[in-house]
């Protein structure tokens, strides 16, 4: 299925996996619209992506914002959502309010934006959400993310049935080198990536481009729906 001229919205398309995904859809000659909260990230990303890309401010946790966003942009062919903030910490230590905030962002944000898109989404198009390998294989401190990622994958199976013929899928990445780890020092981050790389069958952590092509595949392949595509370098096996 060609993506040439198709209108593709990427919520979270201003950084990391989303920004690479925007580039990957551009390479397929799609018309790309990116959205996130920060005006400066939008401006930087639209400059990086170059001509023809539209950028919009959006907080996907707000139903009002989401409704206004689609009212402004109108009909679309595909929706990709990579936005979302998680929470790490041992179950007994992580404050419940932090776990709720993470659900508000990564689970409810994706729920709200997918719901708001329905009237504007071409029925032959697709929705692709984002979960993560911690849904299947949580290390210590990832029980909240395990719950969020599993909830997203459950939602996707339900939506694939309910929104048919629109296809609904989810990408589940392993560890990817993106600005999500910008809060760590370089040394901490490099040590973490080196430790993980040593254990992974593929011998490295992912680059955002590794994950981006999975979103393109899911938008293009008209026979795939209700599926979680795990792209984790073999993390679930170790
Ligand atoms: N990187 C990894 O190792 C990894 C592994 C597994 C799963 N994932 C998942 O993959 C997804 C993307 O991660 P990433 O590494 O690409 O992160 P990232 O580089 O931090 O990008 C996150 C993007 O989401 C946007 N965003 C965050 N909250 C938002 C909100 N409330 N409304 C609208 N946009 C919002 C951010 O822009 P603004 O700040 O401008 O809003 C940014 O564009 C996340 O769901 C993450 O949990 C990542």
Q: So what's the pLDDT on residue 31?
A: 98
Q: State the distance from the centre of ligand 1 to the C-alpha of 84, rounded, in angstroms.
A: 5
Q: So what's the pLDDT on residue 73?
A: 98
Protein residue closest via CA to atom 44 of ligand 1: 84
pLDDT tens sequence across 128-163: 999 999 999 999 999 999 999 999 999 999 999 999
* Long-range Cβ pairs for the range 27-33 (8 Å, 24+): 28/2, 28/3, 28/4, 28/216, 28/220, 29/3, 29/4, 29/5, 30/3, 30/4, 30/5, 30/6, 30/78, 31/5, 31/6, 31/7, 32/8, 33/7, 33/8, 33/9, 33/73, 33/76
pLDDT tens sequence across 162-216: 999 999 999 999 999 999 999 999 999 999 999 999 999 999 999 999 999 999 9
Question: How many angstroms separate the CA atoms of 26 and 42, rounded?
Answer: 16
Protein residue closest via CA to atom 26 of ligand 1: 83
Q: State the distance from the centre of ligand 1 to the C-alpha of 106, rounded, in angstroms.
A: 9
Question: How many angstroms separate the CA atoms of 130 and 84, rounded?
Answer: 8
Domain boundaries along the sequence of the chain: 7-230
Pocket of ligand 1 (CB under 6 A): 11-12, 14-18, 36-38, 41, 58-61, 82-86, 105-106, 109, 130, 132, 173, 175-176, 178-180
- The CATH superfamily holding the domain 7-230 is NAD(P)-binding Rossmann-like Domain (3.40.50.720)
pLDDT tens sequence across 37-89: 999 999 999 999 998 999 999 999 999 999 999 999 999 999 999 999 999 99
């Amino acid at each position: 299925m060609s993506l040439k001229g198709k209108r593709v919205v990427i919520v979270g398309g201003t950084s990391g996996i989303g920004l690479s995904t925007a580039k990957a859809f551009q390479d397929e000659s799609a018309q790309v619209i990116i959205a996130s909260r920060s005006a400066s990230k939008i401006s930087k990303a639209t400059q990086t992506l170059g001509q023809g890309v539209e950028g919009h401010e959006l907080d996907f946790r707000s139903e009002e914002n989401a409704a206004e966003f689609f009212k402004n942009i109108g009909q679309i062919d595909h929706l990709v959502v990579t936005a979302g903030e998680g929470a790490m910490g041992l179950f007994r230590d992580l404050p419940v309010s932090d776990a709720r905030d993470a659900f508000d962002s990564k689970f409810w944000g994706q729920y709200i934006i997918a719901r708001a898109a329905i009237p504007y989404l071409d029925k032959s198009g697709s929705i692709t959400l984002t979960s993560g390998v911690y849904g299947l294989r949580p290390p210590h401190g990832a029980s909240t993310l395990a719950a969020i990622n599993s909830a997203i994958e459950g939602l996707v199976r339900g939506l694939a049935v309910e929104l048919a013929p629109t296809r609904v899928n989810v990408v589940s990445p392993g560890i990817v080198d993106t600005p999500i780890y910008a809060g760590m020092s370089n040394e901490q981050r490099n040590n973490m990536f080196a430790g993980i790389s040593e254990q992974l069958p593929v011998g490295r952590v992912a680059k955002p481009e590794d994950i981006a092509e999975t979103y393109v595949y899911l938008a293009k392949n008209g026979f795939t729906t209700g599926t979680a595509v795990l792209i984790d370098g073999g993390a679930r096996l170790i």
